[in-house]
Chains A and B, each alone.
Chain A
Amino acid sequence: MQHKENSLVLIDASRLIIEGMACAGADSFIGYPITPANLLYLYASKRFPVMLPAPDEITTLQWMAGLSAAGKLPITATSFPGFALMIESINMAFMMELPMVIILAQRLGPATGTATCGAQGDLLLLRGLISGGHQIPVICLSDFADCWNLSAKAVHIANKYRTPVVIVTSKEMVMTQRSFDINLLEEINPVNRKFYNSEQAYIPYNPENNLIPEFLPLGNQKHQVRISASTHDNKGILQHTSDQAMENTIRLDRKIIYNLDEFTYYDLIEEKKADTIIVSYDITAASAREARELLKKKNINVSLLIVKTLIPVPNIYYEILARYNKIIIAEENVNGQLGKILFGEHKHKNIINIGSIGKMVSPLEIIKEVNV
């Protein structure tokens, strides 16, 4: 992306996230202020064609659902306390199959916790977000390049698979400034929105081969559109547990997993002689990358997996991890949430969790575990 010759700036990731999403075709932002997502809100208020301040986070999600059903691509940004209020409505949007993106900037919990302290404490919540155990795509940003590229991808995923998508990040990513050359940013393709345009009656939840039904906004003059958050058949009509309704509910689970390969994002550096792999995500990815580099300078070879598609868990992660005798998972919480998502509650001898609260995990803490 060519801007101008001198393109070195001091910039925060919030700016890249919002600009990336706007370039991808997100057109509306509904905001309710919360730290540490305030910069995202501020930038969105300048950048999105439509920006509306909602009176609370339940309303935020409902307005987004309404806008989405009317053919817009809405975005919001929040942190756990606001996200908690959104959950029922995210379930609604998932059931209705409405595209939208929710940016979750994590902070230290539980509850109100510390608004101005970072954390990676919401992953288990995100895995259990949807009643029924269904999964919505959760994309995590590990550096500034991701803030630009993957934020834009999230808009594409929401549109293509008719689903809410969560971008998960944290305070130290969205509020820290870095020197950065904006000429390094890649061109972003805007979403090419395609709506159902056949003459035949529109069946709102009739899936295509990829299990995704074609979309048509409410209010169009050609076909009736029925949308429902209750258990429904292909026509969007409320059902108790009819065969077609159950098929539809199962399809909602399968459609995300079926298409997962198309939105599996990770960074992998494999060292041939390495016995150990470090796994990390979000803000701790930087510590993991630095730890690997410092170890390499001392001729200690470890591999590195930075996971970016967090939910659903792509199978390739297991294939990669199976090649190593020792797995070190680093994340900013005290209960090893990624470890639990990947391997459950059972403690494995060869899986080591490195955690921290109230401060970032440092590269030295990771190195210490590698050297044990």
Chain B
Amino acid sequence: MKNILNTQELPFCKGCGHDLIAKSTAAALEKSGCSPLDIILVTDIGCHGIIDTSFNTHTIHGLHGRSVSLGVGISLGLNNSDKKVIVFTGDGGATIGLQHIMEAARLNINMTIVIHNNMLYGMTGGQTSGLTPQGFNTTTAPSGNTFEQYDICGLAHTAGASYISRILGIGNIADKLAEAINTNGCSVVEVIELCPGYGMKLNPKRKLAEILESSGKSEGIWTNNRLPFAVDIKEEPTSLLKNLKAIEIIDKPQLKSSYTVLLSGSAGEGVQTAANILAITAVSSGYHVTQKGSYPVTVGVGFSTAEIIISPNEILYHGMTIPDIAIITSQDGLNHSKKRINLMNNGILMIDSSLSAPQTGARVYNIDFRSIGVKSASMFSLFYFSEISKILPHAAIFKAIEQHGDAHKIPLDKIKEIFRFDVL
């Protein structure tokens, strides 16, 4: 079987812990019976990231801090095949990509994350990272780092990874890495090491074990008894066009040109549903229709406005400056549409009787839309629209309500009583 590494001369500074991690990872994989093409090595940005060329495995070298997330994507794509996804990242990458590690742990993605923690950013000049211990000297904190470090193992354990270990990057660490690699689920290994370029020079005479101890941490193994994440694959998803309710045309269009309707009320009062029912009614009456909604970003408060264009011809532009009819069911709706109502030189304004009609050239009808209950005010207005405009018959509205599937939410009996309808 081909070796995992293609060279023993690795591209690291003399004395760098990355050398031990790379060789130990290779030894662990070989010990686990993996051949190079069983392995996908994902590397981050940082000194450790240049190791990929020394591996005979599949390799992918991505962005700073994103290698864990990229590895998650690969693992999801492979979906628990017998492949090993190994992610190498540094303490810098773990800092910038902390959320990605938490997500991999939370989902318990089948992969191994090896954090090369040399306690500073080695490639960019020895700056402090989120995993630099308090008191440790870096080029940007020459008198000692004043910040607390992240407990990356504690975080990964809390987030739910199957296996987490913290080890000193000294001596034989292959077996410890093999344990992580052979875990079913997400394993995270934090290897503590020193950067010969900066860490050793700036912290002379300090030893790894002492640094770890003085930071209040220790070597250890932590586990969660969880199954790895498995992608739920829909074998035969249904076409989005398959179960659409086709609209039966029951009438011929009476209008010769397009007619524009503005429905304006408050969120939560059924404006968009009423607009949809009106649109279905118009389609069934043989028209081309567009339905455009407008509302603030909050779903449950403020205005809710719908613009419906009904036309015997194909509709291209579906915007509406001045409507032919404006139906206002609440103060929010009035506030939002006042300017357009002012601009109406003719047409119809139907406005709830609790509101004062603004200045307009439209013919004004004051109607107590809200008496039916505020949640049905907008729906209720459609029947007055039908009565006053004569464009769409009541019967077609009832049929559209049936088709829409929200009939149970609409007080149809009350509406029929008020209008003395003899339909359905």
Known: A88-B63, A228-B61, A236-B59. A52 touches B76 (CB 8 A): yes
A221 CA / B38 CA spacing, docked (Å): 7
A203-220 contacts to B (CB < 8 Å): 217-220
B73 and A63 form a contact (CB under 8 A): yes
Is there a chain A Cβ closer than 8 Å to B423's Cβ?
Answer: no
Q: Is the CB of B58 within 8 A of A224?
A: yes
Q: Looking at the complex, which one of B58, B70, B245, B297 makes contact with A9 (CB distance below 8 Å)? A: B245
Is A197 on the interface with B (CB-CB < 8 A)? Answer: no
Q: Given A10-B291, A48-B237, A228-B61, are A66 and B317 neighbors across the interface (CB < 8 Å)?
A: no
Nearest B-chain residue to A67, judged by Cβ: B77
* Pair A176/B74 contact, Cβ less than 8 Å: no
**Residue A49 at the chain B interface, CB threshold 8 Å:** yes
Complex-state Cα separation, A229 to B242, whole angstroms: 41
Known: A10-B279, A46-B240, A56-B99. A63 touches B69 (CB 8 A): yes
Task: Tell me how far the C-beta of B335 lies from the nearest C-beta in chain A, rounded to whole angstroms.
Answer: 16
Tell me whether A8 and B246 are in contact (CB under 8 A). yes
Shortest Cβ distance from residue B75 to the other chain A in the assembled complex, whole angstroms: 7
Which of A64, A182, A229, A289 is B61 in contact with, Cβ under 8 Å? Answer: A229
Instruction: Decide: B317 and A59 in contact? CB cutoff 8 A.
Output: no
Chain B CB within 8 A of A50 CB: yes
Given the known interface contacts A3-B241, A46-B238, the answer about A178 and B290 at a Cβ–Cβ threshold of 8 Å is yes
With A19-B239, A46-B238 as given contacts, are A8 and B283 in contact (CB-CB < 8 Å)? yes
Binds B, one of A119-127, A260-268, A342-350, A356-364: A356-364
Given contacts A15-B241, A290-B317, contact A70 B74 (CB under 8 A): yes
How far is the CB of B2 from the nearest CB of chain A, in Å? 9
- Given the known interface contacts A59-B103, A92-B63, the answer about A220 and B37 at a Cβ–Cβ threshold of 8 Å is yes
Tier of interface size on chain A: 35 or more
In the complex, how many angstroms separate the beta carbon of B340 from the nearest chain A beta carbon?
Answer: 11
* Min CB–CB distance A368 → chain B (angstroms): 13
Interchain CA distance A115-B296 in the complex, whole Å: 8
Contact (Cβ within 8 A) B316 A290 = yes
CB distance from B158 to the nearest CB of A (A): 16
A-B pair count, CB < 8 Å, reads 224
Chain A residues near B321: list those with CB within 8 A.
362
Q: Which of B69, B72, B81 has its CB near the most chain A CB atoms (within 10 A)?
A: B69
Inter-subunit contact B59/A62 (CB<8 Å): no
Given contacts A219-B78, A228-B61, A362-B319, contact A116 B297 (CB under 8 A): yes
Asked whether B418 is an interface residue with its Cβ less than 8 Å from the other chain, the reply is no
Residues of A contacting B76 with CB < 8 Å? 50, 52, 63, 66-67, 70
Query: Which A residues are in CB contact (< 8 Å) with B78?
Result: 70, 219
**B294 part of interface (Cβ distance < 8 Å):** yes
Q: How far is the CA of A363 from the CA of B317 in the complex (A)?
A: 7
Say which residue of A46, A69, A89 sits within 8 Å of B66 (CB atoms): A89
B289 touches A179 (CB 8 A): yes
Chain B residues within 8 Å of A221, by CB: 37
B59: chain A residues within 8 A (beta carbon): 224-228, 236
For chain B, the bracket of interface size reads: 35 or more
Given known contacts A65-B70, A228-B60, A238 and B319 CB-to-CB distance under 8 angstroms: no
Q: Are A177 and B290 in contact (CB under 8 A)?
A: yes
Query: A224-265: contact bitstring with B at CB < 8 Å (1 yes, 0 no)?
Result: 111111100000111000000000000000000000000000
Q: How would residues 106 to 134 of chain B score, 1 for a CB under 8 Å from any chain A CB and 0 otherwise?
A: 00000000000000000000000000000
A69:B77 contact, CB within 8 angstroms: yes
Is A8's CB under 8 angstroms from B249's CB? Answer: yes
Cα of A49 to Cα of B294 in the assembled complex, Å? 32
Name which residue of chain A comes closest to B74, CB basis: A66
By the criterion CB–CB under 8 Å, are A66 and B239 in contact? no
In the complex the two chains form, is A49's CB within 8 Å of B233's CB? Answer: yes
Chain B residue with Cβ nearest A117: B294
Q: Which residues of B sit under 8 angstroms from A218, Cβ to Cβ?
A: 40, 58, 60, 74
Q: List B contacts of A286 (CB < 8 A).
A: 316-318
Mask, B287-326, CB within 8 Å of A = 1, is 1111111111100000000000000000111110100000
Known: A9-B247, A46-B240, A228-B60. A69 touches B73 (CB 8 A): yes
Q: Measured between C-beta atoms, what is the minimum distance from A95 to chain B in Å?
A: 10
Task: Give 15 new A-B contacts, CB below 8 A, not counting A43-B240, A218-B58.
Answer: A8-B246, A10-B289, A22-B237, A47-B237, A52-B76, A59-B69, A62-B72, A67-B76, A178-B288, A178-B290, A218-B60, A219-B74, A224-B56, A238-B53, A287-B317
The interface of chain A, by Cβ under 8 A from chain B, is 3-4, 6-11, 15, 18-19, 22, 28, 35, 43, 46-52, 55-56, 58-59, 62-72, 88-89, 92, 96, 114-117, 172, 175-179, 182, 185, 217-230, 236-238, 286-287, 289-290, 293, 359-360, 362-363
Instruction: Offer 30 A-B interface pairs, CB within 8 angstroms, sorted by A.
Output: A6-B248, A8-B249, A18-B240, A46-B240, A48-B234, A50-B232, A50-B234, A52-B76, A59-B69, A63-B70, A63-B72, A67-B77, A69-B73, A69-B77, A116-B297, A117-B294, A178-B288, A178-B289, A179-B247, A179-B283, A182-B244, A218-B40, A220-B37, A223-B37, A224-B59, A226-B59, A236-B59, A287-B319, A360-B318, A360-B319
